[in-house]
A and B are shown apart, each in its own frame.
Chain A
Amino acid sequence: MNNDTVANILLTTILPGNFVLAMFLGMCPFLGVSQKLSTAVPMGIATAFVILVASVSAYFLNMLLVHFHLEFLSVITFITVIACTVQLVEMFVKKTFPVLFRQLGIYLPLITTNCAVLGVALFQTARNYSFAQSLAYSIGGGAGFTLALILMAGLRERMQLSNVPTLVQGAAISVILGGLLSLSFMGFAGIGGGE
């Protein structure tokens, strides 16, 4: 059993161990949906919700799998649960916020293949977290993902006003911005008592 405290896990996953900027989970939406703040915020919240549900179900599923000695099925069961949750969120967003649904486009169903979601489920299993610890891990992870997405969207809205050389336009400048953000998040190292 891992004995990090809940508060430590929460702080570590939001700041120094940020899912996007330190562990490179969920890069696709980070680069894809971060053009505008108005889409980045709901996308972050939707992903955070899926992460939370996936983490809770993964915890109980894993107990079940360990009980029946079926650990090799973990990837398959986790991804199925995640796909179902994403389907649920997709239907909910389509019904309640049709405009938002069109703005997010392909990236909403793609939450299924967001590494951050599967990553939470796999890492919490690998680290033997208890239920409270996994809960803190998933909430911190979702919050960290949303934070990174919002920061990135803010930066990219600013970038539209500046004169970027043609060579660096497009993906390259976003990746450089991501690098700078990641560099600044390294300054948080040590918060939460992590490595």
Chain B
Amino acid sequence: MSVPSNFDEFLDGIWKQNPIFVMVLGMCPTLAVTVSAVNAISMGLATTFVLGASCLLVSLLRHAIPKQVRIASYILIIATFVTVVDYAIQAISLDLYEALGAYIKLIVANCILLGRAEAHAAKNPPLPATFNAIGMGFGFTLGLFAIGCVREILGAGKLFGISLFGEHFQPWVVMVLPPGGFFVLAGWLIVFAAFEQYKSKRIQGVPS
């Protein structure tokens, strides 16, 4: 197998190893903050920043960190960047900060971050590690956005706060409540599974 280029590393996270739909990681923020598309995107971008920055640092320090304390060191690196993001969001938009609440700080406990640091950044040079991390982050953002859109359209009849269906639309309230998050996620997982099945059937169908 040839060495994957930086661009391949980037694409990997968005599609082939999409953290939400393929690896099913980082479910807490996925379900908790996706009541609207704006929340979903900002959460995704915040996670992307933390992911990229911490993977870069982990990768740069990968020879300096002793093996026994690596997990603790990764967590500390991640927690530092999360604190940075937490205060940055508070400074930029207080409304957004209140909407996301403690879930910004909970980025620390997102499995994607520790997983990436341990499985990829600790073994690769800084450049591919960062590209991979940012790709993963965008894949995560994409997933959050997909769920957030569906929940906002069905649950509030709006997208980005703009009303779509006029005033006679009866909102499907359960979609913005916790169970709706589960159901929309399940729906997207089924769509992905159906697509994979279709693709593998098509590959088998081609005579070699």
Could you list which residues of chain A lie within 8 angstroms of chain B, going by C-beta atoms?
Answer: 21-28, 30-31, 72-76, 79-80, 83, 109-110, 112-115, 117-119, 122-123, 126, 166-168, 170-173, 175-176, 178-180, 182-183, 186
Q: Is B129 an interface residue (CB 8 A)?
A: no
Which interface residue of B79, B87, B197 has the most chain A CB atoms within 10 A? B79
Given A182-B178, A182-B182, A75-B114 contact (CB < 8 Å): no
Q: In the bound complex, how far is the Cα of B102 from the Cα of A118, in angstroms?
A: 10
Q: Is B61 an interface residue (CB 8 A)?
A: no
Given A28-B25, A28-B27, A75-B105, A23-B189 contact (CB < 8 Å): no
**A175 nearest in chain B by CB position:** B186
Could you list which residues of chain B lie within 8 angstroms of chain A, going by C-beta atoms?
Answer: 24-25, 27-32, 71-72, 75-76, 79-80, 82-83, 86-87, 101-102, 105-106, 108-111, 114, 174, 177-183, 185-186, 189-190, 193-194, 197
Tell whether, in the assembled complex, residue B111 and residue A28 are in contact, meaning their CB atoms are under 8 Å apart: yes
Decide if the interface of chain A is mainly helix, strand, loop or mixed.
Answer: helix
Min CB distance, A76 to chain B, in Å?
Answer: 4
Q: In the bound complex, how far is the Cα of B75 from the Cα of A80, in angstroms?
A: 8
* 6 smallest beta-carbon distances between A and B, as pairs: A179-B182, A27-B27, A172-B189, A115-B28, A24-B32, A175-B186
**A179 nearest in chain B by CB position:** B182
Contact sample, A vs B, 14 pairs, CB 8 Å cutoff: A24-B29, A24-B178, A24-B181, A26-B28, A73-B83, A75-B79, A75-B105, A119-B106, A170-B189, A172-B189, A178-B182, A179-B182, A180-B179, A182-B178
Determine the chain B residues whose CB is within 8 A of the CB of A122 once the complex forms. 102, 105-106
Tell whether, in the assembled complex, residue B179 and residue A79 are in contact, meaning their CB atoms are under 8 Å apart: no
Determine the chain A residues whose CB is within 8 A of the CB of B87 once the complex forms. 72
Min CB distance, A8 to chain B, in Å?
Answer: 20
Q: In the bound complex, how far is the Cα of B31 from the Cα of A23, in angstroms?
A: 9
Tell whether, in the assembled complex, residue B178 and residue A22 are in contact, meaning their CB atoms are under 8 Å apart: yes
